[in-house]
Amino acid sequence: MEKKGLYAPTYYKDFECIKDKCRHSCCIGWEIDVDGETLKKYSILEGELGEGIRESIACDGTPHFKLVGERCPHLDERGLCKIIISIGEEHLCDICRLHPRFFNVTARGVEVGLGASCEEACRTILSSDEYRDIIEIGKEEAEPVDFDAPALREKVYSVLSERNKPYTERLSEIYEKFSVRPSLLSDREWQKLLSSLEYLDEGNKKLFSSFSSDLAPLKQDLILERALAYFIYRHASSAKSTEEFRTGLTFALFCERLLASSIKAQEKTEDTSAAEIMRVISEEIEYSTLNTDTLLSEIEFALQ
């Protein structure tokens, strides 16, 4: 395996965990797996701290921290990590050290991005116009990939970023140029599919039931443009073929219309920010392998 470039959107460097100020801590409500290398580190930690960490790990199946209620056992009352405070971030397990980052292997190398289930990552993504500026930030081992999905993605971005045209016109142009569209299923079919998914919060099932592929203009066009760029970067960049790219792009366009529909639905009832709605979509769909696979399977079948 050779060393290739590690790339990220320019805004990636602006992200920083907001720690105890976070309203949706990634240390609450998620099972936290402990990777093998970190487990070895913990096995030789001395003293009361080492003993406490080892006692907090369940080793049935994949090793993981035993939650206290829904909280990581190493989260203190202020919402700070006791492991970081005591012995430093280098002793975190991989999932804690890397969250909310995701990685895609592409023809150019490895691309890293910020996952939108993190509220601060959402704010960073939706605050930046730099989504087309992908810069090299290091090196990473990766197997070579032949299909150049980032080059195809850049063609989509070139249409998406043409702000001399109305946003909905740009979306229509993407639909036509790349033969993709969320309306490959009817709104009723999408709504039925969304209602069949598993939810962390059942209230979000009701929110998602408002899904519409309608391209009626919203005041949030700039937010939607940046969100769509993120969904494309995450879900189409690792494609190994034109067909895979079209599937990823269609999924991205579906997520963008779900965001638009949910923003419109929430405007009628309460003042919920677009960033929070995007975080919810990411948490309920992107971070559920089952939900993502269910939607991708329907998209792949409809595109045939």
Tens digit of each residue's pLDDT (9 = 90 or more) over 159-207: 999 999 999 999 999 999 998 987 788 999 999 999 999 999 999 999 9
In this predicted structure, the answer to whether residue 155 has a pLDDT above a threshold of 60 is: yes
Task: Note the pTM of the prediction, 2 decimals.
Answer: 0.93
179 plus 37 within the same structural domain? no
pLDDT at 171: 96
Domain extent for 222? 149-303
Q: Dig out the tokens for 64 from the structure.
A: 């993981």
182 plus 254 within the same structural domain? yes
Q: Dig out the tokens for 217 from the structure.
A: 């203009």
In a domain, residue 138? The reply is: no
Query: Which is more confidently placed, 9 or 30?
Result: 9
In a domain, residue 139? The reply is: no
In a domain, residue 175? The reply is: yes
pLDDT in tens, 206-225: 999 999 999 887 888 999 99
209 plus 294 within the same structural domain? yes
Q: Report residue 29's pLDDT band, with 50, 70 and 90 as the boundaries.
A: confident
Q: What number is the average pLDDT over the span 18-27?
A: 91
pLDDT in tens, 50-94: 999 999 999 988 999 999 999 999 999 999 999 999 999 999 999
Cα–Cα distance, 218 to 162 (Å, whole number): 17
Q: Based on the structure, what is the number of domains in the chain? A: 2
Contact 293, 197 (CB under 8 A): no
153 plus 298 within the same structural domain? yes
In a domain, residue 49? The reply is: yes
pLDDT at 269: 52
202 plus 298 within the same structural domain? yes
pLDDT in tens, 243-296: 999 999 999 999 999 999 999 988 755 556 899 999 999 999 999 999 999 999
162 plus 269 within the same structural domain? yes
pLDDT at 208: 96
* Percentage with pLDDT > 90 across the chain: 85
Contact 123, 278 (CB under 8 A): no
Q: What number is the average pLDDT over the span 104-115?
A: 96
In a domain, residue 128? The reply is: no
Cα–Cα distance, 64 to 36 (Å, whole number): 11
157 plus 297 within the same structural domain? yes
296 plus 208 within the same structural domain? yes
Helix (H) or strand (E) holding 250: helix 242-267
In a domain, residue 166? The reply is: yes
63 plus 172 within the same structural domain? no
In this predicted structure, the answer to whether residue 126 has a pLDDT above a threshold of 60 is: yes
43 plus 159 within the same structural domain? no
In a domain, residue 129? The reply is: no
In a domain, residue 83? The reply is: yes
